[in-house]
Structure 1
Amino acid sequence: MNIDLSGKLALVTGGNAGIGRGIAFALAACGADVAVTYMNNKEQGEEVARSIRERGGRSEAFRLDATDAAQIERLVDEISTAFGRSADILVNNAGHLIARVPNLDMTESHYAKVMDVNLKSCVLMCKAFAPGMKSQGGGSIVNVTSVAAHNGGGAGASVYAAAKAAMIAYSKGLAKEVAGDGIRVNLVSPGFIGRTAFHDTFTPDAARKATVQGIPLGREGTPEDVAMAALFLASDMSAYITGETIEVNGGMFMR
């Protein structure tokens, strides 16, 4: 059975790089029109959209600070103008550790930044785009959490882990609220995913090697590994699944 997303519009936040980039390409490969957002790197965002168009798809890139409700509302209008419809698929991939900060060194400012970019952004995006899905007869929301939500994360990442755990609880509650509107809400939970700026920035080589040694499947994950799980949840192949989390971690955490 092939996944056919022809006639669907997907929106991937942080779709300019890493996991978001992989998800954007996977959705486009199955026929979806794809809107990608970027925060600062316009060149990356435009490159992803251009690559999709060169492969015969339809795609546009938009700048977005997903912690800003006004910018999100503007994006709703921009996407409607560019594509002639609202999103059928929303992938809330944008998120950030910001920095590794032990709790004893925690500041209110750092706490707010981490919670905003991971949890607040997800909440605001769902609030803004769910009405369009409802008006179009339904849709699929895929929120990207993390294995840190289950194990507390690495050193200095406890607030990040808490934000990602809150995303899971929020998604379950939202799934109940919008099920009657034909909208499903699920999550993918990546483990140690290589080829991303996250680990290039925050994980020393020694810790990286040690982590991989503890993964039963014996390797780092790839953005494409996560993309395949997101693609499944975005499609009708998961039509009877909502409020669930798919773990994509090679067995480093098993529920």
Structure 2
Amino acid sequence: MGTLTGKKVFITGAEQGIGYHTAKCLIDAGCDIYIHYFNGVEGPEKLVELATSLGQRAAFGPADLTKGEEAEKIVADAVAFLGGMDVLINNVGGIIARKWLGEIDPDYWQTVIDVNMTTMLNVTQAALPHLKAAEDGASVVNLASLAGRSGGHSGSLSYSMTKGAVLTWTRSLSAELGEFGIRVNAVAPGLILGTRFHNQHTTRESAEETVKGIPLGRAGTPEDVARTITFLASEYDGFISGATIDVNGGIYRM
């Protein structure tokens, strides 16, 4: 496991939940970081305060990453602040709403695709020249989901489809970027409580029923996922690429 001290990180969607705790974990590991947010500065402000207290550098900025020009601008801002980019964490995503097949309309369909896939395309394209320029190789970690493995719960058809696509995107991109020393991996979280996603779209009854089937007997936490992402980032000079690590307590096993 390589040291992350002084590594330059850009992370998307880090105002709360998995993104926030991943940013915190990377700061604790010694990284300098630029934090993207879409809604709410309280989390990013705390992260900057933490980094500053440790003698590290951190800043944050807003963007609608479904828009190519905004993605390009915030990546440029991040690189200007950090002086480069060694690690990219593509964390932005969401279910938007639970809709069954007969309820899916074109606008909803496109929104789910844009939030979970177009954002990843826009950011990774903008970051690519800077990742190629990283001296010791670079690391990209994409947020997928157990839903992309298993198909998800009823009403998550569109979301599950996009998260399955993230798994394929990760495998394909790892093959394409390997020659530049860029590793590309994904994490696929299961039931992770304490996030906006599950606070809004998972009932307590549904969560309790899911936990009954988890071999470890509990739901996951954002910290569980953050530690996994940090491990993948730290292997910037390693041999892991094109892989997906499942973080689900053993409920889904490949």
Pairing of 1:132-143 with structure 2 (within 5 A): 132-137=130-135, 138-143=137-142
Aligned residue in 1 for 2:119: 121
**1:82-117 per-position Cα deviation (integer Å, ceiling 9, x unaligned):** 22x222100000101100011101010000110101
The 1:237–1:79 alpha-carbon spacing in structure 2 relative to 1, beyond 3 Å, is closer
Pairing of 1:131-210 with structure 2 (within 5 A): 131-137=129-135, 138-210=137-209
Q: Distance in 1 between matches of 2:33 and 2:116?
A: 22
Question: 1:50: Cα distance to partner?
Answer: 2.2
Is the Cα contact below 8 Å between 2:72 and 2:122 reproduced in 1?
no
Q: Distance in 1 between matches of 2:55 and 2:197?
A: 30
Q: Helix, strand or coil for the counterpart of 2:10? A: strand
Q: Distance in 1 between matches of 2:199 and 2:30?
A: 32
Pairing of 1:1-255 with structure 2 (within 5 A): 3-83=2-82, 85-137=83-135, 138-236=137-235, 239-255=238-254
Is the Cα contact below 8 Å between 1:232 and 1:238 reproduced in 2?
no
Is the Cα contact below 8 Å between 1:86 and 1:129 reproduced in 2?
no
Q: Distance in 2 between matches of 1:186 and 1:241?
A: 8
Is the Cα contact below 8 Å between 1:221 and 1:250 reproduced in 2?
yes
Q: Helix, strand or coil for the counterpart of 1:167? A: helix
Structure 2: state its 5+ residue gaps: none
Q: Helix, strand or coil for the counterpart of 2:92? A: coil
TM-score (norm 1): 0.95
Question: 1:238: Cα distance to partner?
Answer: 7.0
Q: Distance in 2 between matches of 1:107 and 1:100?
A: 12
Question: 1:118: Cα distance to partner?
Answer: 0.4
Question: 1:33: Cα distance to partner?
Answer: 0.4
- Of 229-238 and 90-99, the range deviating more from structure 2: 229-238
Is the Cα contact below 8 Å between 2:138 and 2:236 reproduced in 1?
no
Aligned residues: 253
- Of 36-45 and 116-125, the range deviating more from structure 2: 36-45
Q: Helix, strand or coil for the counterpart of 1:140? A: strand
Q: Distance in 1 between matches of 2:173 and 2:39?
A: 29
Task: Please tell me the residue identity of whatever aligns with 2:76.
Answer: D
Q: Distance in 2 between matches of 1:110 and 1:47?
A: 33
Structure 1: state its 5+ residue gaps: none
Task: Please tell me the residue identity of whatever aligns with 1:25.
Answer: K
**1:105-146 per-position Cα deviation (integer Å, ceiling 9, x unaligned):** 101000011010101111111111121011223200000100
Q: CA RMSD in A?
A: 1.4
Q: Distance in 2 between matches of 1:238 and 1:187?
A: 17
Q: Helix, strand or coil for the counterpart of 1:5? A: coil
Q: What percentage of residue pairs aligned between the two structures are identical?
A: 36
Runs of 4+ in 1 over 6 A off after TM superposition: none
**1:180-216 per-position Cα deviation (integer Å, ceiling 9, x unaligned):** 1000000011000011111111011111110111110
**1:43-77 per-position Cα deviation (integer Å, ceiling 9, x unaligned):** 33223222332343321111121111101111122
Q: Distance in 1 between matches of 2:221 and 2:185?
A: 20
